[in-house]
Amino acid sequence: MPLLVMKFGGTSVADLARIENAAQKVQREFERGYDVIVIVSAMSGKTNEMVGWVEQTSKLYDAREYDAVVASGENVTAGLMALRLQEMGVPARSWQGWQVPINTTSAHGSARFISIPRDNIDAKFAEGFKVAVVAGFQGVSAEGRITTLGRGGSDTTAVAFAAAFGAERCDIYTDVDGVYTTDPRVSSKARKLDKIAFEEMLELASLGAKVLQTRSVELAMRYKVRLRVLSSFEDTDETSGTLVCDEEEIMESKVVSGVAFSRDEAKMTLVTVEDRPGVASAIFGTLADAGVNVDMIVQNISEKNYGTHTGAVTDMTFSVPTNQVARAQKAMEDAKAAGLLAYDDLITDTDVAKVSVVGIGMRSQVGVAAKTFAALAAENINIKVIATSEIKISVLIDRKYMELAVQALHDAFELDRP
């Protein structure tokens, strides 16, 4: 029998009415002849509620007990979904992570997959239970403890099951009807894409697009799992949503497929750092050890007078998420106090945003950077930092110009046109 994986996020199973709506979509695929693995999230808001309970109970909580608590939301949804399907005449059975088992590392709160054996679910399929409803976001460690995968982990669970079971496709049901050229709330001209390549989706997800969790796209690209993003709240067919697939499945790619943005960025500059071999390693090794996620990096000639320095100096600018600024500042100050680094000043700007254009068509087209910078210049938007890769161009700009920049770039690359 062909197998399909269907994943329903928190908004799609927010209450009993929405669980019934999701169950009807599962029933339709079962009636088409599929064996179905359904991955469910906790009901909308429940994970946050449980995290709050843990933090109120214990400020320095045991991560193992944290996982035991927050994983329970998905267990409730899985049981309710299986019950609803049974009432509809669909032979369904619910599965918690340890029952499959979903084997993970012991990194509680951010576990990673080790293996997903097929034997137990395949045996139930053979017995006639044609729908397995699996609690997403969770697994079990070698010690037998419940683990969780981090926020967005249900997307990753769905892709992992699709890869393990050789699914025909993995359908991600959410509160939007596909992947758009940019956020429709920012640009009214945003257009839904019929198809997008794995690499483009990975860049968009990592650059701020919230449709899919980054780890899930990485996994899908590695194992060539075809993903389809579609709405839980609309009638759908085989042509609905956006297909995330291998580049070879896309007949002709536009130069730019989308514009992504992130408001939660900060720019940090170390002023007059000694310009010598190993200084970059000292800076970014220290930040990595402190758990700081560095993105854009620029090294340039220092603006300060060289008079007080015996050798060459440089300024080092980099971007970090705003919620990691304090950690980055402390790491740099501690390294300076310990004599590992020498610099005159650390300047932080938390009033910036990152805007990026992404497209696999950039590989074969020239002039994309020129068009990007010209579009921003026409709106009198100054660029603070630039970073590029084979299929993206990212810029840091003042946050107040973010929406204007997104709209200008969307227009410049005519993304409203098919």
The domain limits of the chain are 3-175
Find tokens 């989706």 and name the residue.
201
- Asked if residue 180 belongs to a known ligand binding site, the reply is yes
- Asked if residue 175 belongs to a known ligand binding site, the reply is yes
- Asked if residue 7 belongs to a known ligand binding site, the reply is yes
- Asked if residue 261 belongs to a known ligand binding site, the reply is no
- Asked if residue 314 belongs to a known ligand binding site, the reply is no
Q: Are 368 and 357 in contact (CB under 8 A)?
A: yes
> What is the pairing mode between strands 103-104 and 113-115?
antiparallel
- Asked if residue 371 belongs to a known ligand binding site, the reply is no
Q: Are 242 and 179 in contact (CB under 8 A)?
A: yes
- Asked if residue 157 belongs to a known ligand binding site, the reply is no
In the sheet with 113-115, reading across from the earlier edge strand, the strands are 113-115, 103-104, 138-140, 146-148
Which fold would CATH assign to domain 3-175?
Carbamate kinase (3.40.1160)
- Cα→Cα distances 406→187, 261, 366, 379, Å: 8, 8, 21, 11
- Asked if residue 47 belongs to a known ligand binding site, the reply is yes
Helix H or strand E segment including 148: strand 146-148
What's the rounded Cα separation, in Å, for the pair 129 and 44?
28
- Asked if residue 61 belongs to a known ligand binding site, the reply is no
- pLDDT digit of tens for each residue in the chain (418 aa)? 799 999 999 999 999 999 999 999 999 999 999 999 999 999 999 999 999 999 999 988 999 999 999 999 999 999 999 999 999 999 999 999 999 999 999 999 999 999 999 999 999 999 999 999 999 999 999 999 999 998 789 999 999 999 999 999 999 999 889 999 999 889 999 999 999 999 999 988 887 677 888 889 999 999 999 999 999 998 887 778 999 999 888 876 788 999 999 988 999 999 999 888 889 999 999 999 999 999 899 887 665 545 445 557 889 999 999 999 999 999 999 999 999 999 999 999 999 999 999 999 888 888 999 999 999 999 999 999 999 988 999 999 999 999 999 999 999 999 998 8
- Cα→Cα distances 166→3, 25, 251, 381, Å: 8, 21, 25, 48
Look up residue 51 and give its two tokens.
Answer: 């995290």
Helix H or strand E segment including 54: helix 46-57
How many other CB atoms are found less than 10 A from the CB of residue 231? 16
- Cα→Cα distances 128→93, 132, 168, Å: 10, 11, 20
- Asked if residue 210 belongs to a known ligand binding site, the reply is yes
